[in-house]
Amino acid sequence: MTPLDRALINGLQGGFPVCDRPFAEIAKQFGSDETTIISRIAALQEDGVISRFGPLYNTEMLGGAVTLAAIAVPEERFDEVADIVNGFDEVAHNYKRHDRLNMWFVILAQSQDALFDVIAHIRTATGLDVLNFPKEQEYFLELRLEVPDDQF
């Protein structure tokens, strides 16, 4: 990881310029150029250092639906089921946990009906029960994951 990579990861959490050429604005901020900024962000994704680069939208405010779902997956089928679940465009995140409910994932859909359809399709495709945990109350947490200088 280069010093620029570290600076980008630490500096772009929680804010991104909204303008015609945001990467050019970022380049000015980090003493670089637009092409380098774009290529470094792409490389961080390709190398698996960051899993995603993009905005977070309030799906429900846009008329959509979101839920947290979980499945108790037999360990010998975990990778197979993860591939099936991750194959749905509506699945945003998928996490392995060490508990009976060992697969947790977020589903974002265009409507409640579409969300229920996705859950039903995942049940059919995996042969496993999908538990739906809709949000009861929303909390805002600004989580920043700083990469210290001595990390890499």
Q: What is the pLDDT of residue 142?
A: 67
The two structure tokens encoding residue 20 = 């015609």
Are 30 and 80 within one domain?
no
Which amino acid belongs to residue 103?
Answer: M
Residue 130 · residue 122 · CB < 8 Å? yes
Distance CA 108, CA 55 (A): 14
Number of structural domains the chain divides into = 2
Are 35 and 99 within one domain?
no
* 82 belongs to a structural domain: yes
Q: Which uninterrupted H or E stretch holds 11?
A: helix 3-11
* 148 belongs to a structural domain: no
- Across all residues in the chain, what is the average pLDDT? 91
Are 65 and 125 within one domain?
yes
**Tens-level pLDDT at each residue, the chain (152 residues):** 889 999 999 888 878 899 999 999 999 999 999 999 999 999 999 998 888 888 777 788 788 899 999 999 999 999 999 999 999 999 988 999 999 999 999 999 999 999 999 999 999 999 999 999 998 888 776 666 777 776 55
Phi, psi of 66 (to 5 degrees): -140, 145
Are 70 and 109 within one domain?
yes
CATH of the domain at 80: 3.30.70.3460
Q: What is the pLDDT of residue 143?
A: 66
Q: What is the pLDDT of residue 96?
A: 95
Q: What is the pLDDT of residue 53?
A: 84
Are 71 and 104 within one domain?
yes
Are 75 and 127 within one domain?
yes
Structural domain span for residue 126: 60-133
Q: What is the pLDDT of residue 128?
A: 98
* 94 belongs to a structural domain: yes
